Amino acid sequence: MAASLAGLAACAGPAAGPAGPVTAGPPAPAPTVPAGRTVGVLLPLSGGNARLGQEMLASTRLALGAPTAPPLDIRDTEAAGGAGAAAQAAVAAGDGVILGPLTAAETTQAAAVTASTSIPMLAYTSDLSLGRPGVWALGIAPEQQVERLVTAARAEGRQHFAAFLPDTALGRAMGKALTEVCAAQGLATPDVVYHTTSPASITQGLKTLSAYDTRLAAAQPGAQAPVPPDMSAVDPLGAGAPAVPAPATGQGTAPAAPAVPKLGAPPFDALLLADTGLQLASVIDALQAVQAIGPAATGTAAAAQAPAITVDTPPAAAPVAGAAVTGVPAHTPVGALTVPPTVSTQPAVAPPSPPQQASVPVRILGTGLWGAFAGKLGRLEGAWYAAPDPGARQRFIQIFMARYHHMPTPLSDLSYDSAALVGALDRARPPGQPNGYAIAALTRPDGFSGVDGVFGLTPDGQTLRDLAIFQIQPGGGGRIVSPAAGRLVRDQRS
């Protein structure tokens, strides 16, 4: 049996977390450590992200605290020269693998240094575009979420996808991912509209995307519906369409505006969103105004049809975890990061059983960030988001709290997982080799089972994840309606 997280914590020995901030010291591998076995750790240990960096370092030490674990070469990416200088120092010290850095910008700097070496890097950014042979982004990425959502939506019969997204890096990443995933799955090119922060931009953009004027005209008594506009040629932020009729105020002598009739369905049956906070509230208001959602679109009858597995709403989409190489399948019970025994061809996340098809005209799809405040999203009843199953993380939380006496941040999962993975590969290193960090070992097709589910690294630098689908409930909160598959399998699209 593979060691569980509890076993890994026990192996970590008595070394407790630091009483105060940890500073990076000069690399000093013990003479008995073979060259290339030391693990470079690049984290912000000072500056604005120092608290987060210290916490991620604590998770790293939790996973690699055993006396026989490979030594750590800790570098502060906020020191002079930044992440580039930290990576250069790690290379000069002869480190065999690099864990970190934290951000996309830092990863770009560090990857430029390691490009001419054979040292693999497991970075903590969620920007998958930075992945290349030898460099992997471990953060839970928009692309992974979108692929999972589209696959699940197709399984319940959705064919016409669209997106209404903030004009931000996250919004652009999700829009690009939706276009690429739809193309890969043989679906029509989705209409993607980006909006600014103003309520006017949000309302006008959704009116255009949902063909509001065409639907309104078709709903008028005795009216003949005009030809729908070419959605790809319409400026979503323009002012060519009339405003959504406002309710009468009852003041003055002006006649009351006519009530908006019940409109037909918009030209999409699945809509991807990525807003949060007050902007999301404005988007929900506009969605209801143009009748893209509402009692007919996400009512309790539809929610009742979808089978649900009761799970508490997870925290913000968390990254991954754990390690032991012993020939246990990737779907080992919660708490063990394992290296599965069998090998298949190039992996892809296995599609789990889809939720039962429900009579929701438009399925709203959202970002995993919604998990942090799903309890406030009752107006989006029936909406989906993709995130790790939080149940698997509970054992890690217990062990972390027992050692450090506070809750770990989601990013601590990433540093724990990467360190535990490296420790597992080190224990399984081939005889005569200084370490087990070979690309072939890191990219085994079956992947690894971590704190937040199964994940895999591909030879071209991509990271695969196995996510669950959560559905927003009538009073808010998320429930799993499509569990994570629990494994990686062959790519069914190739």
Query: pTM, whole model, 2 decimals?
Result: 0.77
Average pLDDT of the residues in 433-451:
93
Helix (H) or strand (E) holding 40: strand 39-43
The letter for the amino acid at 458 is T
Q: What radius of gyration, in Å, describes the C-alpha atoms of the chain?
A: 25
The tokens for 459 are 């030879």
Q: In the prediction, which pLDDT does 259 show? A: 73
Dihedral sign from CA coordinates of 478, 481, 487, 489: negative
Sorted by sequence, the CB contacts under 8 Å of residue 326 that are 6+ apart come out as 1, 2, 3, 338, 339
Q: Which two tokens stand for residue 412?
A: 């601590």
Chain mean position to CA 459: 20
Q: What is the mean pLDDT of residues 229-244?
A: 42
Tell me, what's the pLDDT at 257? 56
DSSP state of 370: G
Helices (DSSP H) in 226-307: which residue ranges? 277-289, 300-305
Looking at the DSSP bridge assignments, the partners of residue 456 are: 464
CA 381 from chain centre, in angstroms, equals 21
Place of tokens 């030391």: 38
What integer best gives the mean pLDDT of the chain? 80
Local confidence band at 487 (pLDDT 50, 70, 90 cut-offs): confident
As a whole number of angstroms, the distance between CA 455 and CA 449 comes to 6
Angle value at C-alpha 436, between 432 and 440, nearest 5 degrees:
115
Interval 88-96 mean pLDDT: 97
Q: Which of 113, 112, 144 is nearest to 126 (CA)?
A: 144
Q: What percent of the chain has pLDDT over 90?
A: 66
Residue 377 or 298, more confident? 377
Residue 47 CB: number of other CB atoms within 10 A? 11
In 3D space, the residue among 311, 310, 292 whose CA is nearest the CA of residue 360 turns out to be 292
Strand, helix or coil at 434?
coil
Contacts of 138 (CB under 8 A, 6+ apart): 122, 123, 124, 125, 319, 320, 414, 417, 418, 455, 463
Q: Is the pLDDT of residue 331 over 80?
A: no
pLDDT tens sequence across 385-407: 999 999 889 999 999 999 999 99
* pLDDT tens per residue, range 168-223: 999 999 999 999 999 999 999 999 999 999 999 999 999 999 999 999 999 987 65
- Give the amino acid at 7: G
pLDDT higher than 60, residue 144: yes
Strands (E) in 167-250, as ranges, are: 191-195
How much is the pLDDT for 147?
97
* 78 C-beta neighbours (distance < 10 Å), count: 18
**Cα–Cα distance, 117 to 104 (Å, whole number):** 20
